[in-house]
Structure formats: C-alpha cells, structure tokens
Amino acid sequence: GENVEQHPSTLSVQEGDSAVIKCTYSDSASNYFPWYKQELGKRPQLIIDIRSNVGEKKDQRIAVTLNKTAKHFSLHITETQPEDSAVYFCAASKGFQKLVFGTGTRLLVSP
C-alpha cells in the first residue's frame, strides 16, 4: 500500500521568510496530492491540492510542486505570516477517497 513520508517534523521561520515542506510517496499509481492545515485545537482544512497531470499549482502565497519521477511533492509558502503557524499534513492517494497522510510538519512563524 501507499506510504507517505514528510519532512521536516518541525520548522521555525521568521515572518516574511519562505517555508518549504517536503513529502515522498511510494505508490506510483497515486494521482492526487492534497495539503491540509490544522491550527491548534481546530479541524484540518484543505489549503491546496494537485493532481498527477500537473507539475505545479499556485494560490497566492502557497504553491505545490510535484515530481512524479522522483515521487515527491512539496509545499512552498512565501512571505510567511504568524497566522501561517499550524501543523501541515501532506497526503497521497489513487483517486480521492483513500488518502494516506504524512506525519505532519509543525510550522512556527515568529514575528
């Protein structure tokens, strides 16, 4: 089955810096790669996703890149702000319903 590894587990940056979180997956059949953000004590929420027919997707300060050959994908956050502080989870699946999540990255943005 699918296995997703996520790094780093913790990331501290200064406000305004960029943050990059990386994930690798094992199943070459996986074709859907979402990222979820979970603020402290709150529910996970989708922030961006990418499908295997696309190499990069952007939404304002957030971008995701996918390298199918290497089986890895990354989340890039530019101009970080304190409200970006949260735990970020990557996930992978074939189709939409059987997501396998990474272990999460705790991002701390210091003012």
Partner 1 sequence: ETGVTQTPRHLVMGMTNKKSLKCEQHLGHNAMYWYKQSAKKPLELMFVYNFKEQTENNSVPSRFSPECPNSSHLFLHLHTLQPEDSALYLCASSQADLYTGELFFGEGSRLTVL
Cα separation values, 84 from 30, 49, 106, Å = 28, 17, 10
Judged by CB under 8 A, the stretch of 13-21, 32-40, 60-68, 70-78 that binds partner 1 is 32-40
Q: Which of 89, 92, 105, 107 binds partner 1 (CB under 8 A)?
A: 89
Cα three-residue angle 57-50-1, rounded to 5 degrees: 150
Judged by CB under 8 A, the stretch of 11-19, 44-52, 53-61, 67-75 that binds partner 1 is 44-52
Judged by CB under 8 A, the stretch of 11-19, 37-45, 53-61, 70-78 that binds partner 1 is 37-45
Q: Which of 35, 75, 84, 104 binds partner 1 (CB under 8 A)?
A: 104
Pick from 70, 50, 68: which is nearest to 58 by CA? 50
- Which spans of this chain sit near partner 1 (rule: CB under 8 A)? 4, 32, 34, 36, 42-46, 49, 89, 91, 93, 95-104
